[in-house]
Structure 1
Amino acid sequence: MTQVDTAGPVDASLERSIEGAAVVVDNTAIAAAFEEIADLLELQQANPFRVRAYRNAARTLASWPEEMSLWAAQGRDFDELPGIGKDLAAKIAEILQRGTCDQLERLRASFPRGITHLLQIPGLGPRRVHVLYHELGVRTPQELLDAARAGHVQAIPGFGATSERRIAEAVAGYLDRSHRWPLARVDAAVQAVLAHLRAGPGVEDVVVAGSYRRRRDTVGDIDVLVAGSRGGNACRRLCDFEHVARVLAQGRTRASVVLRDGLQVDLRVVRPESFGAALVYFTGSKPHNIALRRIAQSRGLKINEYGVYRGTRRIAGKTEASVYATVGLPWIPPELREDHGEIEAARSHALPRLIERDDLRGDLHAHTSASDGADSMEAMAAAAREAGLDYLAITDHSSGLKVAHGLDEKRLLAQMEAIDRLNERLRDIVLLKGIEVEILADGSLDLPDQVLGRLDLVVGAVHSALDLSREQQTARILHAMDHPHFSILAHPNGRLFGTRGGCALDMERIVRHAAERGCFLELNAQPDRLDLFDVQCRLARDAGAAVAIGSDAHRGSDFHWLQLGVDQARRGWLQKDDVLNALPLAALRRRLAATMGR
């Protein structure tokens, strides 16, 4: 499980300046240097007690509440630290002064650059890496994978074919960790894992932490926390899960597996009295947790995954709220824990009341079988009502998008009449007349003004000429937004996960223009889009441009995607008042009418 609290080591190049003084190094950077020394000593097969001394020193420094740079300024001796003798104290002083030390540089010179990455591969300890390096000359994970696939590993005494296969699988998994999964694509697997673990004995609570809990649009792996006293049971249960393809590690309180679809799941079991502290520790981004740790240090406290400590006494940790309270902060929603101003907002009692799914009153982007949807207009209305919506905009494609069997002027007029007739029969939901109109390369719209002017809303979208320059693409969209009947810019960036990263755009200009023009930006909740991005949602909020969260539903079962849009909006600090379709129908009609010049 990836640890994000500052108790873990960081890059030894991390340096900072204090009030213009000489450059100094954080405790975490000193700890990282000691961890690297320990790794390289293990590769040299040095005395285990010597290696352990560096490991222990690294742990002490990573969790120490006072910076060593301040000790140096005060003239204090580093050997006052527990477990730190004269030799290690001298190295701390050297690293503080230079950012490195002679021993680390000598060890690095004796090995190929980056060989310590091999130590991060599950199942490969220092002794095995030592043998593989000296027998095969492998220096990187890719070189090791190539050697294993070529059958060279099994030729080494003590390895064999089974070891070679497991090493190849472990290295391939390690190299694949840079792959990130769209959030929606892991939801089913995550819920299956949670249900499996909850059904086991000795489990009091199970929560997914990490970027999944922060609801990032993509996740690398899944971090699961279990509260309970029988950790071995939970770890065994995860490893026995029917969808597990291979087990990377298994212990009493930790386990790591790869599911059949390639998703890695890391499990950590903690006692109930530490569950809240573990949630804070494993949920927040690294910068968020660093900020918390520094506040704690200023109060003479230490925060780690087991709790908040004053000296050796644990004073909080059972709940997340108790952890935040010890540093004078209210509980911060997981989606905001990125160190993007949330701590300052919490300190000044200015955290937003984030939008929730129940705040949405309708959906302003949906398709029917009239274009590329799967269900009839009536079926979509029934599904929207079942999803708790009061209104639904029918926004089939215009004819410019040939592959979607888009509507021309004649077909759109017929659909508008059909909506009027259907609304006479519907109960508890109202259909709005709309269109997802193509924004052509010159910024004009794909249907005549006299037709667009009769709609309740016009959703403009770019589906072609995606390779225009940044200036051309931005001018195209700005021109479209100036159209008198333009309402909402659909999926503004044009991103599709796994296919394209989006158009080149000056999004700041587009957001400002939307605010000035009085039109709206869509946060498209379709799983392969999630577009606007979270930072752009916040940009829109700050500029005063309202956001419409749209499902882009193509069948009745797609309305549950609205939750993904709400998650993204929450990461963008959006509140109910920032979201167009959180308005009741009468207020929405007034806003749309004003945008369309009525």
Structure 2
Amino acid sequence: MPIHNADIAAIFEEMADLLEIENSNNVFRVRAYRNASRYLQEMGKDVRIMVQRGEDLTIIPGIGEDLANKIQEIVETGHCSVLDKLHKQLPSTITELLKIPGLGPKRVKTLYQELDIHTMEQLQRAVRDHRIQSLAGFGEKTEMRIADALAIYAGSTSRFKLATAAQYAEPLIAWLRTISGVQQAIIAGSYRRAKETVGDIDILITAAQKSPVMTSFCSYDDITEVLSHGPTRSSVILKCKLQVDARVVEHESYGAALHYFTGSKAHNIAIRRLGQEQGLKINEYGVFKGQRRIAGETEESVYQSVGLPFIPPELREDRGEIEAARSGHLPELIELGDLKGDLHAHSKASDGHATLKEMASAAQQCGFEYLAITEHSRQLTVAHGLDPTQLAKQIDEIDRLNEQLTEITLLKGIEVDILEDGSLDLPDSILARLDLVVGAVHSRFELSRAKQTERILKAMDHPHFTLLAHPSGRLIARRKPYDVDMLRIIRKAKERGCYLELNAHPERLDLLDIYCQAAKDEGVLISINSDAHSVLDFHNLRFGIGQARRGWLEKQNVLNTRSLQELKPLLKRTM
């Protein structure tokens, strides 16, 4: 079976979990596995290809010789001997329990030793029978929190983050296009609409009559189970548990099928209703006037049949796109190539993994005119945040480096912590020397809606505040957004003349699409940033672009589509 980055990352994460549950004293070893797992999930380059080409894996951040050898073993054999040894000591299912908020390694070990719990089902029964609260260090309130967390977990486990799904879906679609007789192959569904998570993958294919595409599809190396196999439709489960449904459709129905299987359901219903009003029947086979097919070969023809222009997939949520199309006010959505720079990135000075020069070179290769270096501030000690002296040193270093750089400019910034009282983590004297100040909430996520909102509003009143990073604080499927009045935040940004970030990191995709649209309506510019911590992270911007398109953003709504010359006055006006 082909090995994907996500597979290797999952193995390293499981090794770290098992070592922690086992009470390993080597915290550095645990941390190394976790860091390696995170880097592998975030990077766009395929590690399997690197191994096949004999490339040096130690160029990957956090990967030394030992981990490089383990990666090579996993790619070549499909497993890791060290993990096999750990499985002999603890059941492999036990690491699933760590996905429940409130269950750290110590508590999981207690559950295993005291109640012989090592599966989710056993944990659910123990909660139902109220056996958890009797354990030392737990109690009734903890048991109730575990019950709530189990309910949330049950509703989220069947979905994959968009970036994770991409690791499996994109190699598969590329492979399908090489099969004899295949003419078109495309991923539809929520993946095509760039939703932040997907439940499964829908693939549409057109092919010559004798093409072996369905047989080949069902023999793909990454498959663990074939649910159904037919000449025009097959359904399989990949080893990562992602279900993939593939359909072969006729050329004259391709556009109608693509429209139907892209969705959303609400959008499709609205289009069908428009068709019915005009005496048309619209389904996955085409657009029909009585028994006669009048459209359906292309998606454009489907929309034209009901008097509408083509509506981009990311907008198809029945949130006003049909009305906008009818009135001629569909947005001209932003493209990745519209970005001129990135306003949120880290270097080795804090928790990044490359030098300033290396980050500048990588950004330049993306075609950027500028890159803002925004290390963490001193409050975030876990990320080696900078104090005023360290930041002053970096400011001088960036100035010297800019004298050498010819095709890109490094901007001087900081990702400064917004403290609980709304003040910023660094003094005005050092913030005044920067090109931009990115404020971020990294603590006290549990504050009430009123207190969290006032905290951020006060920070935005600071004269040096430029940009609010990852505004909701959420981590997809890991941490809910903190409770905040986002509309007040957006309107404060408008009043203050500052900006909001759309953080493109696949774990965040924060700002939410509905708030991107609200910011656009209020005239507040959004900065689409990578939050890069290595030279490999800029590829994540494509996921941010997908989120921005779902939020109706156009080029002019995005701060960092401006040239450096156009950007500088916009940054200065917030200082």
Category of TM-score, reference length = shorter chain: 0.7 to 0.9
Supply the distance in 1 between the matched residues of 2:210 and 2:568 (Cα, whole angstroms). Answer: 55
Gaps of 5+ in 2: 1-120, 126-153
Aligned residue for 1:340, secondary structure, equals: coil
Correspondence 1:428 to 2:412: no
What amino acid is aligned across from residue 252 of structure 1 in structure 2? P
Aligned pairs for 1:56-67 within 5 A: none
Supply the distance in 2 between the matched residues of 1:238 and 1:381 (Cα, whole angstroms). Answer: 42
What amino acid is aligned across from residue 550 of structure 2 in structure 1? R
Q: 1:391 aligns with which of 347, 352, 370?
A: 370
Q: Residue in 2 aligned with 1:555?
A: 534
Q: Residue in 2 aligned with 1:181?
A: 160
What amino acid is aligned across from residue 519 of structure 2 in structure 1? A
Aligned identity (percent) is 58
Correspondence 1:467 to 2:467: no
Q: Residue in 1 aligned with 2:247?
A: 268
Is the 1:456–1:593 contact (alpha carbons within 8 Å) kept by the matching residues of 2?
Answer: yes
What amino acid is aligned across from residue 380 of structure 1 in structure 2? M
What amino acid is aligned across from residue 246 of structure 2 in structure 1? L
Aligned residue for 2:204, secondary structure, equals: strand
Correspondence 1:419 to 2:377: no
Instruction: Give 1:229 shift.
Output: 3.8
Aligned residue for 1:419, secondary structure, equals: helix
Supply the distance in 2 between the matched residues of 1:347 and 1:321 (Cα, whole angstroms). Answer: 14
Instruction: Give 1:491 shift.
Output: 0.2
Supply the distance in 2 between the matched residues of 1:519 and 1:266 (Cα, whole angstroms). Answer: 45
Instruction: Give 1:235 shift.
Output: 1.8
Instruction: Give 1:457 shift.
Output: 0.1
What's the CA shift string for 1:530-577, capped at 9, x where partnerless? Answer: 000000100100011110001000001100111111110000000111
Q: 1:457 aligns with which of 423, 436, 444?
A: 436
Aligned residue for 2:376, secondary structure, equals: coil
Is the 1:225–1:268 contact (alpha carbons within 8 Å) kept by the matching residues of 2?
Answer: yes
Q: Residue in 1 aligned with 2:380?
A: 401
Instruction: Give 1:176 shift.
Output: 8.5
Correspondence 1:246 to 2:247: no
Instruction: Give 1:189 shift.
Output: 0.6
Q: Which has the larger radius of gyration?
A: 1
Aligned pairs for 1:217-228 within 5 A: 217-228=196-207
Is the 2:203–2:244 contact (alpha carbons within 8 Å) kept by the matching residues of 1?
Answer: yes
Supply the distance in 2 between the matched residues of 1:510 and 1:274 (Cα, whole angstroms). Answer: 46
Q: 1:233 aligns with which of 189, 203, 212?
A: 212
Is the 1:231–1:269 contact (alpha carbons within 8 Å) kept by the matching residues of 2?
Answer: no
What amino acid is aligned across from residue 166 of structure 2 in structure 1? D
Equivalences, count: 424
Supply the distance in 2 between the matched residues of 1:554 and 1:231 (Cα, whole angstroms). Answer: 49
Aligned pairs for 1:190-205 within 5 A: 190-205=169-184
Supply the distance in 2 between the matched residues of 1:383 and 1:459 (Cα, whole angstroms). Answer: 21
Is the 2:418–2:440 contact (alpha carbons within 8 Å) kept by the matching residues of 1?
Answer: yes
Supply the distance in 1 between the matched residues of 2:203 and 2:391 (Cα, whole angstroms). Answer: 49
What amino acid is aligned across from residue 388 of structure 1 in structure 2? G
Supply the distance in 2 between the matched residues of 1:269 and 1:505 (Cα, whole angstroms). Answer: 46
Correspondence 1:303 to 2:282: yes
What amino acid is aligned across from residue 391 of structure 1 in structure 2? Y
- Alpha-carbon distance change, 181 to 361 in structure 1, aligned in 2, over 3 angstroms: same
RMSD over aligned Cα atoms: 1.4
Correspondence 1:368 to 2:347: yes
Is the 1:232–1:253 contact (alpha carbons within 8 Å) kept by the matching residues of 2?
Answer: no
Q: Residue in 2 aligned with 1:441?
A: 420
What's the CA shift string for 1:213-248, capped at 9, x where partnerless? Answer: 000111111001001244872221111000001111
Q: Residue in 1 aligned with 2:302?
A: 323
Aligned pairs for 1:125-136 within 5 A: none
- Alpha-carbon distance change, 253 to 231 in structure 1, aligned in 2, over 3 angstroms: farther
Aligned residue for 1:515, secondary structure, equals: helix
Aligned residue for 2:344, secondary structure, equals: coil
What amino acid is aligned across from residue 321 of structure 1 in structure 2? E
Supply the distance in 1 between the matched residues of 2:405 and 2:360 (Cα, whole angstroms). Answer: 8
Aligned pairs for 1:140-219 within 5 A: 179-219=158-198
Q: 1:476 aligns with which of 425, 440, 455?
A: 455
What amino acid is aligned across from residue 171 of structure 2 in structure 1? A
What amino acid is aligned across from residue 212 of structure 1 in structure 2? Y
Q: Residue in 1 aligned with 2:271?
A: 292
Supply the distance in 2 between the matched residues of 1:428 and 1:388 (Cα, whole angstroms). Answer: 9
Supply the distance in 1 between the matched residues of 2:441 and 2:273 (Cα, whole angstroms). Answer: 46
Moved more, 218-227 or 177-186: 177-186
Is the 1:525–1:561 contact (alpha carbons within 8 Å) kept by the matching residues of 2?
Answer: yes
What amino acid is aligned across from residue 489 of structure 2 in structure 1? I
Gaps of 5+ in 1: 1-141, 147-174
Supply the distance in 2 between the matched residues of 1:427 and 1:204 (Cα, whole angstroms). Answer: 45
Is the 1:397–1:437 contact (alpha carbons within 8 Å) kept by the matching residues of 2?
Answer: yes
Is the 2:422–2:454 contact (alpha carbons within 8 Å) kept by the matching residues of 1?
Answer: yes
Instruction: Give 1:330 shift.
Output: 0.4
What amino acid is aligned across from residue 422 of structure 1 in structure 2? L
Instruction: Give 1:370 shift.
Output: 0.4
Q: 2:516 aligns with which of 523, 537, 544?
A: 537
Aligned residue for 1:434, secondary structure, equals: strand
Is the 2:181–2:211 contact (alpha carbons within 8 Å) kept by the matching residues of 1?
Answer: no
Q: Residue in 1 aligned with 2:61?
A: none
Aligned residue for 1:248, secondary structure, equals: strand
Aligned residue for 2:212, secondary structure, equals: helix
Supply the distance in 1 between the matched residues of 2:329 and 2:281 (Cα, whole angstroms). Answer: 26
